[in-house]
Amino acid sequence: MHKPKIGISIGDINGIGPEVIIKTLADDRILNQCTPVIYGSSKVMSYHKNIVNPDFHFHACREVDQSASGKVNVYNCWQETVNIELGQANTESGQYAAIALERAVTDLKDKKIDALVTAPINKHAMQLGGGFPFPGHTEYITDQLGAKESLMFMVSGGLRIGLATNHVPVSEIVHLLNKELIIQKLRLMHHTLKMDFGIERPAIAVLGLNPHAGDNGLLGDAEEKIIRPAVVESKKGGILAVGPFSADGFFGAGQYQKFDGILAMYHDQGLIPFKLLAFGNGVNYTAGLSGIRTSPDHGTAYDLAGKNEADPASFREALFQAIDISRQRSTYLEMHENPLKVNAKKAATEEDEEIIPEED
């Protein structure tokens, strides 16, 4: 079984990112599933491990190619000593988070790592320390990988919610939404569910923008003018899309359980129900890119930094999701690029299974 090399950007050094990374990777069984490479600093990781787990060990390297299988690797993106101020958003925490992220995304783009898991950053600190001109990880990585469009996709088990618009003021949502955008997001979600999640014919629910999905035009006409036409056209293109649904009733009645994916129109419409249903175990996946990127569903949690109280569950799920998607995508691409090779491999595996004697 292929053991993918998973990059991990350290995130904000004053937040809980290093803590949840250490807690996740302290389980040696993870090393049987992947080769982790933390993009950051061995000095910073040593500082945090002394708080979290003094017995945590890692292998320091200066290039990703020097990473060792069977070990936790720390890629030193800088050599200087950094002043750590736990729980504070400042210039240094933003500067070094930006350096680590840039190095990790460059290696993802160059295919030196199979996937990237990003620990949380603080947007204010990023602007202070690096003039970071993006609303968040999603927009930055989309830009760096040269994609025209991506999909912010929140995932927890069978619950998968994508967003038509991401980090934008509520006042701008109605101006950004159009039929073409929704069709594009539906295509991205459909392809992602097939390629990265192995769902052959995914069913996708589309939420309305207005209360009660516009109530036949009484509460707004975006549903009839934009969303429904996008759903109809997507169906003609072979996508099993249904909607628009009234968002409150859709989640309240449990209809979300019947669909492989859900397209919400704006951030809070998708994130509020997602976090109510899956907080602590959710994963933020940037779909539609040439590279694989996941992250936990929480932020820097400055109030918990340095207390050894942060729950690593969401970060652990983000790591597992990166591993699973890496393997699933590899199988999908191999099958579609060379189906004869895949069939031959499957036949060989089945033949091997037939000759293995049963135990008494």
In CATH, the architecture of 1-147+289-360 is 3-Layer(aba) Sandwich (3.40)
> What is the token pair recorded at 161?
């919610």
Is residue 22 within 8 A of residue 54, CB to CB? The reply is no
Which of 149, 154, 125, 126 has the alpha carbon at shortest distance from 139? 149
* Strand pairing class (115-118; 240-245): unpaired
Q: What pLDDT is recorded for position 354?
A: 42
> What is the token pair recorded at 118?
């990003």
- Same fold? 1-147+289-360, 148-286: yes
Between helices 17-25 and 313-337, what is the axis angle to 10°?
70
- Is pLDDT above 50 for 359? no
- Is pLDDT above 70 for 334? yes
pLDDT digits (tens, 9 = 90+) for 213-223: 767 777 778 88
pLDDT digits (tens, 9 = 90+) for 254-313: 999 999 999 999 999 999 999 999 887 899 999 999 999 999 988 999 999 999 999 999
DSSP conformational letter for 119: P
Is residue 308 within 8 A of residue 22, CB to CB? The reply is no
Which of 243, 206, 245, 208 has the alpha carbon at shortest distance from 223? 208
Q: What pLDDT is recorded for position 352?
A: 45
Task: Please state, for a pLDDT cut of 90, what percent of the chain lies above it.
Answer: 78
Q: What pLDDT is recorded for position 78?
A: 94
Question: CA 193 to CA 196: how far, in whole Å?
Answer: 6
Q: Is 134 exposed, middle or buried (0-12, 13-18, 19+ CB in 10 A)?
A: middle
- Is pLDDT above 90 for 238? yes
What does the pLDDT average to over 351-360?
A: 40
- Is pLDDT above 70 for 338? no
Between helices 17-25 and 42-52, what is the axis angle to 10°?
70
Sorted by where each begins, the domain ranges of the chain are 1-147+289-360, 148-286
- Is pLDDT above 60 for 348? no
CA 66 to chain centre: 26
Is residue 141 within 8 A of residue 105, CB to CB? The reply is yes
Global pTM value? 0.87
What does the pLDDT average to over 115-122?
A: 96
Q: 146-150, 187-191, 318-322 — which is least confidently predicted?
A: 146-150
Q: What pLDDT is recorded for position 216?
A: 76
Q: What pLDDT is recorded for position 214?
A: 67
CATH T-level fold of 148-286: Isopropylmalate Dehydrogenase (3.40.718)
pLDDT digits (tens, 9 = 90+) for 57-107: 999 998 888 999 999 999 999 999 999 999 999 999 999 999 999 999 999
Q: Which are the contacts of 158, defined by CB distance < 8 A and separation ≥ 6?
A: 257, 260
- Is pLDDT above 90 for 347? no
Q: What pLDDT is recorded for position 351?
A: 46
